[in-house]
A and B are shown apart, each in its own frame.
Chain A
């Protein structure tokens, strides 16, 4: 289903449009004139070596960093450039940040339901029961504190919490990093279910094989600039691209 949508992407109205984003910390520029778009329901792999600006791009989209003087970010029908992070989140973008952003002093169920809300059309596609259905381990752990969870459970918790805000765009930063292979597979199968639910996703991950299986399209960042943008097939068919920009 998501493959069809990516074919439709050029005609369908994009969900997210970033144009001319330039971000830096102090004098160091991290992103240079980055422009990209995400179609509704599309799954995008955001690739690049460490320190190339992937996390910075996700944080800029969330309004945690300014997008620069020419930068403009449109989401749906709204210009969200310069908006507060909370209002961008409420507009329907959820970020599962690197490090998971857990609340150690909250219980699992308390955390999951904290940001729960219906989407902009008033639909609640991810009620607690569905989260527990997708993540049975969280159901078992519902009464535990978040800091008592294993790494994989913490990641499920972070993804479940993001889904309960009913986002139209879910962004994941290194969601499978540091997890055991079995747990990684579980996270990927969950991400497949998210993609099937027609939620657009932007995924930063080092496991290219899994990412290639899931994503419709990929964007490669190098030294803060976009050096490749195209379909999974195009990327797969050209080994030099992967060698040159991802070093694998």
Chain B
């Protein structure tokens, strides 16, 4: 029973981190129409930024404050140099270019940070555990991580539903041309969305860095899970990504506990079931 509780917490925490990564992927697909295979690389960028900036500043939160604007600027630059040329092209060309970006980013990662895994320290004041029951303790950082992810999810929700920029994002999703006809430069909006998606993936990578080690290929693992989440939730739906990511996180955690031999398949089995029942995903428009 206590193990189940811990796994539930772990599942929610993992799901929320995946949500941050997947939300950027689904935004970029839903609004820009781009299948971005390099999205996992932005998670990796976040993880390694956490590593370097924490070693410089000594604190993961200071690292975040420096790293997120860097990731945003990086995303805007990648959009300007590469992605904007893909809007009118088909998905195959998008996949080819963004796959090439993965190879480049991975090589750069190896040159700069090397092939060995690294650990990012949890800040001292969050390094303890909280007693949940008489025999059970849970790491404080994981709880804080869960809280930060929830706050970010809420900020995203408010931005999309309640702000002018959110209205423009939704309008651009359904009719880019009409947005131009109303006097809005959709190029700027697209760059902003791509940069925000990059920043969200990097935020996930940075926040999760103290919980899991930082290693080469970390981006690809997140990319695949993010795609599963986007497929489950429905392409382009933030709400779907949120529900999908939580389902994935919890399925993964309980799969490891109940069916250890089957755990790695659990997530994909869930996706298969959703695809059979609702081919467009839980919140997707068919």
Interface residues of A (CB under 8 A from B): 62, 64, 84-87, 89-90, 94-95, 97, 101-106, 110-111, 114-115, 117, 161, 165
Stretch at the interface among B96-104, B174-182, B223-231: B174-182
Q: Are A89 and B168 within 8 A (Cβ)?
A: no
- The answer, among A84, A85, A106, A165, for a CB contact under 8 Å with B170, is A106
Provide a sorted-by-A list of 27 A–B residue pairs whose CB atoms are within 8 angstroms. Answer: A64-B177, A86-B180, A86-B185, A86-B186, A87-B183, A89-B181, A90-B183, A94-B182, A95-B181, A97-B178, A97-B181, A101-B175, A101-B177, A101-B178, A101-B181, A102-B175, A102-B178, A103-B175, A103-B178, A104-B174, A105-B173, A105-B174, A114-B167, A114-B171, A114-B182, A115-B182, A165-B182
| Distance between A99 CB and nearest chain B CB, rounded to angstroms | 10
Nearest A residue to B172, CB-CB: A103
- Please tell me the number of chain B residues within 8 Å of chain A, measured between CB atoms: 16
- Counting CB contacts under 8 A, is B184 at the interface? yes
Task: Give the chain B neighbours of A117 by CB distance below 8 A.
Answer: 183
Q: Roughly how many angstroms separate A90 CA and B181 CA in the complex, as a whole number?
A: 9
* Contact A94-B174, Cβ < 8 Å, known A86-B186, A106-B167: no
Evaluate contact between A161 and B174: CB separation under 8 angstroms.
no
Which B residues are CB-close (under 8 A) to A110?
A: 167
Selected from A89, A103, A111, the residue in CB contact (under 8 A) with B183 is: A89
Q: Which of B168, B178, B185 has the most CB of A within 10 A?
A: B178
The interface residues of chain B lying within 8 Å CB-to-CB of A64 are 177, 180
Chain A residues with CB below 8 A from B175, complex form: 101-103
A106 to B170, CA, bound (A): 7
Smallest beta-carbon distance A66→chain B, Å: 15
Q: How far is the CA of A94 from the CA of B181 in the complex (A)?
A: 7
- In the complex, what residue of chain B is closest to A107 when comparing beta carbons? B167
Instruction: Return chain B residues, CB-CB under 8 Å to A95.
Output: 181
CA A106 to CA B185, docked complex, whole Å: 19
B173 adjacent to A114 (CB under 8 Å): no
Nearest 4 A-B pairs (CB), nearest first?
A: A115-B182, A89-B183, A101-B178, A85-B180
Q: Which A residues are CB-close (under 8 A) to B174?
A: 102-106
CA distance A94 to B183 in the complex (A): 9
Expressed in whole angstroms, the Cα–Cα distance for A94 and B170 within the complex equals 21
Closest residue of A by beta carbon distance from B169: A105
**Contact between chains at A86 and B184 (CB < 8 Å):** yes
Complex contacts, A94 vs chain B, CB 8 Å: 181-182
User: Which of A84, A86, A89: most chain B CB closer than 10 A?
Assistant: A86
Known A-B contacts: A62-B181, A86-B186. Give 6 more (CB < 8 A). Answer: A87-B183, A89-B183, A95-B181, A101-B178, A105-B173, A115-B183
Is the beta-carbon distance between B180 and A114 smaller than 8 angstroms? Answer: no
User: Chain A: which residue is nearest B186 at the CB level?
Assistant: A86
The closest CB in chain B to the CB of A116 belongs to B182
Chain A residues, CB < 8 A from B171: 103, 106, 111, 114
